[in-house]
Amino acid sequence: MDKLNKRVVLVTGATGGLGTAMCKKLFNEGFHVVGNYRDKNKADAWQKSLLSDGYKIELFEADVTQFESVKRMIERIENEIGPIDTLVNNAGITRDGRLAKMSVDDWHDVINSNLNSVFNCTRNVINGMIDRKFGRIINISSVNGQRGQFGQTNYSAAKAGMHGFTKSLAMEVAKYGITVNTISPGYIGTDMVMAVPEKVRDQIVAQIPMGRLGGTDEVAFLVSFLASENSSYITGANYSINGGQHVY
């Protein structure tokens, strides 16, 4: 067990499929894991379910699209638990549709949830990381931020923007012992993807050279690696995990 395993990790969007796998993996690695949520009923059920499996993960409410809401959450976590030394920006939504028919609300909601949230959360932890001369920022993007996707101009723009954020911030904070990296998953077998009609799912899988969906545990393993001491010389990188669906 390395020295990082006592550090506090905050995972936004913790109660989703990817968030759940990340929380479990980081907990198993010995980190002190806290999660962010918006839906209290879902969060309570999620927390109870994980606790029954031995995972004690504190949850904190915040609307990640609102800077002041995030600020209050970060202050609570740091006062009650301790400094946040690893931040996983995982929260996000989709509001798909062709740009010619996309509403202004669908554009702004996706940009706010997927991209502005990264600023809101990172801005509220970065100065503490600079003071302590240590930090890990891990941004969860998407293969569709790399290659684009029909009907996802809002989502693809936000996810591509995340990596531009990653590259620039990585340059700014490298001298303080802080790493900033992006993970770009392809189609992962979350509840949301598995709820897609089987015929549509089969069409998706047919486009993946490995011939299967990715596992949430595979993404979580990569998150845990980037949170570890072993990744201390990696920064400004974008890790693709898409089964060969998009290579470059």
Q: Which member of 37, 155, 187, 248 is catalytic?
A: 155
DSSP string of the chain, one letter each residue: --GGGGSEEEETTTTSHHHHHHHHHHHHTT-EEEEEES-HHHHHHHHHHHHHTT---EEEE--TT-HHHHHHHHHHHHHHT--EEEEEE---------GGG--HHHHHHHHIIIIIHHHHHHHTTHHHHHHHT-EEEEEE--HHHHH--TT-HHHHHHHHHHHHHHHHHHHHHGGGTEEEEEEEE-SB--HHHHTS-HHHHHHHHHTSTTSSPBPHHHHHHHHHHHTSGGGTT--S-EEEESTTSS--
Res. 14 pLDDT band, cuts 50 70 90 = very high
Q: Give the separation between CA 219 and CA 15, rounded to whole angstroms.
A: 15
| In-domain check, residue 247 | no
Tens of pLDDT, residues 23-82: 999 999 999 999 999 999 999 999 999 999 999 999 999 999 999 999 999 999 999 999
Question: How confident is the model at residue 197, as a pLDDT?
Answer: 87
Label residue 39 left, alpha or beta by phi (over 0 means left) and psi (-120 to 50 means alpha). Answer: beta
Question: How confident is the model at residue 195, as a pLDDT?
Answer: 78
Question: How confident is the model at residue 218, as a pLDDT?
Answer: 97
1, exposed or middle or buried, with CB in 10 Å at 0-12, 13-18, 19+? exposed
Contact predicate 96/142, CB 8 Å: no
Tens of pLDDT, residues 75-132: 999 999 999 999 999 999 989 999 999 999 999 999 999 999 999 999 999 999 999 9
Torsion sign over Cα 133, 30, 13, 75: negative
CATH classification of the domain holding 105? 3.40.50.720
At residue 134, does pLDDT exceed 90? Answer: yes
Question: How confident is the model at residue 145, as a pLDDT?
Answer: 82
Question: How confident is the model at residue 163, as a pLDDT?
Answer: 97
Tens of pLDDT, residues 157-201: 999 999 999 999 999 999 999 999 999 999 999 887 887 889 989
**Mean pLDDT score of the chain, rounded to an integer?**
94
Range of the domain at 131: 3-241
Res. 221 pLDDT band, cuts 50 70 90 = very high
Mean pLDDT score, 196-212: 92
| In-domain check, residue 246 | no
Q: Give the separation between CA 73 and CA 79, rounded to whole angstroms.
A: 10
At residue 3, does pLDDT exceed 80? Answer: no
| In-domain check, residue 248 | no
Q: Give the separation between CA 58 and CA 15, rounded to whole angstroms.
A: 12
Does 155 participate in catalysis according to the annotation? yes
Domains: count for the chain? 1
Contact predicate 141/184, CB 8 Å: yes
At residue 216, does pLDDT exceed 90? Answer: yes
Res. 2 pLDDT band, cuts 50 70 90 = very low
Distance of CA 59 to the CA centre of its chain: 16
Prediction pTM value: 0.95
